[in-house]
Amino acid sequence: MTLAEERAPSELVGDVERLLADLEAPGDPVAAERATAVVQALLELYGAGLARMVEEISARDDGTLAATFAEDELISHLLLLHGLHPVSLEGRVLGALDEVRPYLESHGGNVELVDVEEPVVRLRMQGSCSGCPSSGVTLKLAIEDAIHKAAPEIEEVLAEDITAPEPAPLLAGGPLLEVTQAGGDPGWTTVGGLRELDRRASVVKAVGGRPILFLRVAARVLAYGNRCAGCGAALDDATVRSTRLTCGGCGNRYDVLRAGRCLDEPRLHLDPVPLLIGDDDLVRVALAAPV
């Protein structure tokens, strides 16, 4: 395996962008112009070669290889760079929304693609994602993250809210994890050590210096800020029965399948924490600044 293969495609792209920026820095203008011309010539050469390869593959492929190329982050980026990606812009945006839809549904919400026209995507938030306190976090850290990864040519994601229907009792699910590390995409932290949920209905973990309550319901996981919306007490000793969490301090009951809405005081709700469970078996949470 080469050094390039050991590094993430995003790191390689970042290196190229930094080197190109260095060429524009004050210095020898003649040398910078020649270096830029060399880079442009190489791009055109590789682009022509990739175009010929795609043409030959398209004539022989049943779609399997094209799908494999589209799913590979590095190959996908190169094809996008030269306008050769086999999946349309709209198709990639729809695929990105499908990736984050389990999280949205876990909080009784959904998202609809209204329009996509480079470089802008317009969405419509539905259900409890419409107008709820965490909708801004959801849009910026979950939806935007997925869209920009699938369609880097998109520069802006706009959303509009509609009247929220009764949220469906759905919950994002996936395996419980042990891997613990920080990093990855900006704004996200990978969390592990949740095997305790095999024995307990809830567990509190410190993530980014904040206590986060993780819940297990039917072998599935949700995350909330560790604070009762009624009395402000920590929820370490809260009881969880079926889909209801009961605060040990004030006795308020919350529906964990419906964005933590309080069953006793409708104006109250827990603070949902965006949580994604990827194919790589990593649980990632996004923490917004406290409000």
pLDDT in tens, 70-114: 777 778 778 877 778 888 889 989 988 988 887 777 666 788 899
Report which DSSP code applies to 288: P
35-39, 219-223, 277-281: least confident range? 277-281
- Distance, in Å, from the CA atom of 20 to the CA atom of 39, rounded to the nearest integer, reads 9
Q: What distances in angstroms separate CA 118 from CA 77, 89, 93, 148, 242, one per listed residue?
A: 16, 8, 11, 12, 45
Task: Provide mean pLDDT across the span 217-231.
Answer: 83
Any idea which residue has 């900006």 for tokens?
186
Length of the chain: 291
**Fold match flag (89-161 vs 188-286):** no
Picking from 93, 91, 69, the residue whose alpha carbon sits closest to that of residue 152 is 93
Asked whether 32 and 23 are in contact (CB, 8 A), the reply is: yes
Give the mean pLDDT of the chain: 74
Residues 6+ away with beta carbon under 8 Å from 251: 264
Task: Provide mean pLDDT across the span 248-258.
Answer: 88
Which tokens go with 291?
Answer: 């409000």
Fold classification of 188-286 is Rieske Iron-sulfur Protein (2.102.10)
- Distance, in Å, from the CA atom of 230 to the CA atom of 271, rounded to the nearest integer, reads 12
Task: Provide mean pLDDT across the span 187-200.
Answer: 70
Confidence at 253, pLDDT banded by 50, 70, 90: very high
Task: Provide mean pLDDT across the span 220-231.
Answer: 88
Q: Where are the domains of the chain?
A: 3-81, 89-161, 188-286
Q: What distances in angstroms separate CA 271 from CA 153, 159, 218, one per listed residue?
A: 33, 21, 21
Confidence at 7, pLDDT banded by 50, 70, 90: low
65-74, 119-128, 159-168, 227-236: least confident range? 159-168
3-state secondary structure of 289: coil
pLDDT at residue 251, rounded to an integer: 94
Give me the architecture of the 89-161 domain, per CATH: 2-Layer Sandwich (3.30)
**Residues facing 262 on adjacent strands:** 254
First to last CA, the chain: 47
- Distance, in Å, from the CA atom of 180 to the CA atom of 177, rounded to the nearest integer, reads 8
pLDDT for 189 beyond 60: yes
In our burial notation (b when 16+ CB lie closer than 10 A, e otherwise), range 206-231 reads ebeeeebbbbbbeebbbbbbbbbbbe
Q: How many CB atoms lie within 10 A of CB 70?
A: 18
Q: What is the pLDDT of residues 27-36, one digit of tens each?
A: 788 887 888 8
Which tops the pLDDT comparison, 18 or 96?
96
